[in-house]
């Protein structure tokens, strides 16, 4: 019988977290799942937040940056953490109106994605860059952030700089 090493590690991590092996610690990858900001608010009125961001973008001559994800998602939190770094925070603050939209497990606030022509969320986070007039500017790459935590800060910064006003 062949043992799947990923499944074995996951099972081991569950047992360790449950305290079945006193003195043992969970692997570093399990600890990462608890790190990072948690900016997604399931109680927020997502569409109202998007409307407000578009209004601010129009007034400032910037764009709306909509990050559709969830606090449960390592990559959603990883992208949010990158947004807190000084260089990227300045770039985002100068050029975008940022809104974090909680989409649950891709079962909540999906009307936000549909509003801008994105029918299905293939994963989280899904990133929409929208003009103040409501045009989706990054249609070809909205789904390219499902591995956001693994992308370098330089790659992430270059992407958002390319779409800046």
pLDDT digits (tens, 9 = 90+) for 55-97: 999 999 999 999 999 999 999 999 999 999 999 999 999 999 9
pLDDT for 10 equals 44
pLDDT for 34 equals 58
pLDDT for 74 equals 94
SS3 34: coil
Alpha carbon distance 14, 110 (integer Å): 32
In this prediction, the residues of the chain whose per-residue pLDDT falls under 50 are 4-6, 8-10, 12-33
Say how many Å lie between the first and final Cα of the chain, rounded.
57
pLDDT for 30 equals 37
Alpha carbon distance 55, 64 (integer Å): 9
């Amino acid at each position: 019988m062949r043992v799947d090493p990923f499944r074995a590690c996951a099972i081991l991590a569950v047992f360790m977290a449950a305290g079945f092996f006193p003195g043992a610690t969970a692997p570093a990858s399990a600890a990462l799942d608890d790190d990072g900001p948690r900016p997604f608010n399931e109680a927020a009125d997502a569409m109202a937040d998007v409307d407000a961001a578009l209004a601010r973008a129009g007034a400032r001559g910037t764009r709306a940056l909509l990050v559709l994800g969830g606090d449960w998602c390592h990559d959603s939190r990883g992208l949010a953490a990158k947004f807190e770094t000084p260089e990227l925070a300045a770039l985002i603050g100068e050029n975008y109106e940022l809104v974090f939209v909680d989409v649950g497990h891709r079962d909540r606030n999906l009307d936000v994605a549909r509003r801008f022509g994105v029918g299905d969320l293939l994963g989280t986070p899904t990133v929409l860059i929208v003009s103040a007039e409501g045009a989706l500017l990054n249609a070809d790459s909205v789904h390219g952030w499902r591995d956001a935590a693994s992308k370098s800060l330089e790659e992430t910064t270059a992407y958002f700089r390319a779409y800046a006003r």
